Amino acid sequence: MQALILAGGEGTRLRPLTLTMPKPAIQLVDRPFLRFVIDWLATHGVDDVIVASGFGAEELQTALGDGGEGGPSISYITEDEPLGTGGPLHLAFDEGALEERFLVLNGDVLTDLDLGELVRAHESTGAVATLALYRVEDPTAYGLVRRTSGGEVLEFLEKPDPAAIDTDEVSAGAYVMERQVIDLIAPGRTVSIEREVFPRLVGRGLYGHGLSGYWIICRRAGTSLRDELRRARGLASMGPARSWRRRASILARRWRRRRSSSVRWLRPLRRRSARAR
């Protein structure tokens, strides 16, 4: 099966790490960040990966190469200008790279969700597109997806009023799509899948399927020690190689013993400002 990974953003929320290096190429434990995503895809039988790159495209290609022996092949499409989350799909289509059915993945998510289950759900409903959905502890911090008991998407709720929340499912950034979705994407311009394409598919074959497992969005550097620990534990559970699983566990223990530099600096500042008041 084929997968398109959206990895063209500048990673502004991870600066200064991303000032000279694209976020997907940043080393995490023992490999580039995006390699974890590709290895996860490989465990679900994906043999053809297309990476949609933009900022730092050459550095990303150098970091990932064209695939390894026994792993999926990796090819690249490059955005001359940012095309959002939808534009790269049309770009890949224009270059003749897309199959009739393919996966689309956000390139900033670490997860072990079962893609095989997602594909089977997609096939069982005859959907045009199927979103992987994930239940979150705090639904007020996300855009939510409301669906029927049969999975058909009814509505997208963009960080609604807490009183109006009746679901805790969010889009997990993994989709199965039929190629006809491309018809809804204008070529050569910035398009958002989430805000422009999916809402137009409501009532026209858009489904969601709930999955469970490890899932975390990696968008900010040092947001909290708890997130960093969760990330390390997730890495330790995601792949087959004992060597890097062991290194991830060691890294988690080190994080428990010392705070990240951002936490060390932020807490004294808070205490001083409280005394000043």
Domains and CATH numbers, the chain: 2-132+169-221 (3.90.550.10), 222-277 (no CATH)
pLDDT for 240: 44
Per-residue pLDDT of the chain (277 residues; tens, 9 = 90+): 999 999 866 555 554 455 456 677 677 767 788 888 999 999 999 999 999 887 767 888 887 888 877 789 999 998 888 899 999 999 999 999 899 999 999 988 889 999 999 999 999 999 999 999 999 988 888 889 999 999 999 999 987 788 888 999 999 999 999 999 999 999 888 999 999 999 999 999 999 999 999 888 875 544 444 455 455 555 545 554 444 444 444 444 544 454 444 434 333 333 333 344 4
pLDDT for 239: 52
> From CA 121, how far away is CA 109, in angstroms rounded?
21
pLDDT for 66: 87
Q: Which residues are catalytic?
A: 159
pLDDT for 248: 46
pLDDT for 14: 53
pLDDT for 33: 81
pLDDT for 108: 86
Contact 21, 118 (CB under 8 A): no
